[in-house]
């Protein structure tokens, strides 16, 4: 029936939307963000190499120590660092799309605590342009300061 199938469509749309909505808070934000964002405002993305294997390109920036490591599609060094280093550094930002991922929560995180570092990378990548202060799904993130 037509009414059923449009309901199913709406439900599958909502499921797909839910899958990409980032967390607005995670328990690791409080003690896992130690990078000085000013350091990265003029980052040359081409020069960032994976600390463990020298892979170039779309690496991840660890928000605990400011080191770059390769993605799960290269040699997983960012994943291994996020989950298994002696001092866990669970949060990292992708140099590809500037999304923030928590390896422990296994989810995207879009929180005020990571805005400054993502904004610094955004400026480095887009000629000084500020990153909009809203999430991908259009919700305004209130400034904490
Ligand atoms: Zn690597
Ligand atoms: Zn780290
Ligand atoms: Zn987390």
What are the residues whose beta carbons fall under 8 Å from the beta carbon of 66, sequence distance 6 or more?
Answer: 34, 35, 36, 39, 40
Domains of the chain: 21-125 (3.30.40.10)
Interval between CA 144 and ligand 2 midpoint (Å): 25
Interval between CA 102 and ligand 1 midpoint (Å): 18
Interval between CA 33 and ligand 2 midpoint (Å): 10
Backbone angles phi, psi at 63, to 5 degrees: -80, -5
What is the value of pTM for the model shown? 0.81
pLDDT tens, per residue, the chain with 145 residues: 445 566 666 666 666 655 678 999 999 999 999 999 999 999 999 999 999 999 998 999 999 999 999 999 999 999 999 999 877 899 999 999 999 999 999 999 999 999 999 999 999 999 999 998 865 444 444 444 3
SS3 57: coil
CA 3 to chain centre: 39
Interval between CA 19 and ligand 2 midpoint (Å): 26
Residues forming beta bridges with residue 56, ordered by sequence position? 49
Structure tokens of 13? 């749309």
């Amino acid at each position: 029936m037509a009414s059923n199938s449009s309901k199913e469509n709406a439900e599958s749309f909502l499921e797909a939307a839910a899958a990409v909505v980032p967390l607005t808070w995670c328990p690791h934000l409080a003690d896992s963000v130690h990078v000085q964002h000013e350091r990265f405002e003029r980052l040359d993305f081409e020069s960032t190499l994976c600390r463990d294997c020298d892979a170039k390109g779309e690496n991840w920036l660890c928000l605990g120590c400011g080191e770059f490591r390769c993605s799960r599609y290269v040699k997983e060094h960012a994943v291994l660092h996020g989950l298994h280093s002696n001092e866990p550094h669970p949060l990292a930002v992708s140099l590809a799309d500037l999304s923030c991922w928590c390896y422990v929560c296994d989810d995207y995180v879009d929180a005020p605590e990571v805005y400054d570092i993502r904004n610094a990378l955004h400026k480095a990548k887009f000629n000084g342009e500020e990153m909009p202060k809203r999430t991908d799904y259009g919700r305004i993130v209130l400034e904490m300061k």
